[in-house]
Structure 1
Amino acid sequence: MPGAFQYKPRFVDIRVRPPSEKDAAEQDVHALKPGERACDHPGCMRVATARAPKARDMLNEHYWFCQPHAAEYNRNWNFFAGLPEAEVRRRQQEEMMTGGRPTWEMKAGRMSREAAAFTAKFGTGQGYRDPFNMFGGGGQHARKPEPESRKIGKIERNALADLDLDENADAAKIRARYTELVRRLHPDANNGDRSGENRLQRVIRSYQSLRKAGMV
């Protein structure tokens, strides 16, 4: 065979060389990059990505952990450890009411300059006035509270309507109106005329409904 067509291998030795210690260090996935910090858990060389407070009274000082060790630290950390039971309840109540944040009254003190100026100006035309008692000041045009209407059902409301009474009619007024209608609609009072007999039966049923409801 001519020499031009003979096979000549490109590489003499194609065996894979085992990596050196330097190459292994460069390929370490847990190796820290510039600017990264290691986890504070003993023996852990992972990158620290989460922080946790060191103690209840040191909330501004933190440990730095990787995610698994941060989760473990949070599971085992008790904020109320070492506190008396009464103090624990007080802090829990405060957390529920204000979220643990300090609160202040949104008004000036009784002896403050603002309160003295308001007292001096009130009623002189320069301060706040409420002549119509819109804010409960008790002015001369104060609105009187309207009486609450009695809460009754549909049956009782229709019964009062049959007696030509409003919803606020009391027991005495209902009895008087019932007696008046019975005397007016009864056939004996109309020389035997039964034209008002249907109305009379409706009046009687309405009165019985009101008695059953305890309104008479």
Structure 2
Amino acid sequence: MSRARRSIDWGFPRWRGYGSSREAAQVRLCDRHGCNEPGDCPAPKSPNSPERWYFCQKHAAEYNAGWDYFAGLDKEAAAEREAQERAETAGYQESAHYGWAGSGDGTRSRDELRALEALDLEADATFEQVRKAWRNKAKEVHPDVRPGDAEAAKAFQTYQLAYEVLRAAEERREWRG
């Protein structure tokens, strides 16, 4: 009399790994023509529409690059919405102190980006580049070089403030380690 072999799938514990079935996994590809990456970033096809594109991370960033969150709002409404959302996300800003969060890629704040723009620098500029740009621009509009010129004095103050913002940010980064 032959004995039937017992499966190892009976009872508990289950001896075979969970999810080890042999079916093919469904992967949605990026909706960008010619892209074969997985499309796991949904983006609206049009405003207030439930329909979505599904892009890979690279194409989602490209799709969102020119998107203005405050489009169609006047200055007061945009400022009100920004203030409301800042209040709602204050915990995230607080966590930035501990290095848990940050804006954009986590390297620069909005004030720092404005300061870099005032000095005509890219967002990834090093502090040495900041110092050189600040010195060159400040030399051109320094009150000793252009006495009595109100526009030059205003530009000098702008460059000074931009440098102070970036210097303080650099000191914070060094302090954090």
Instruction: Tell me the TM-score normalized by structure 2.
Output: 0.40
Question: Per residue, is there more helix in 1 or in 2?
Answer: 2
Instruction: Tell me the TM-score normalized by structure 1.
Output: 0.34
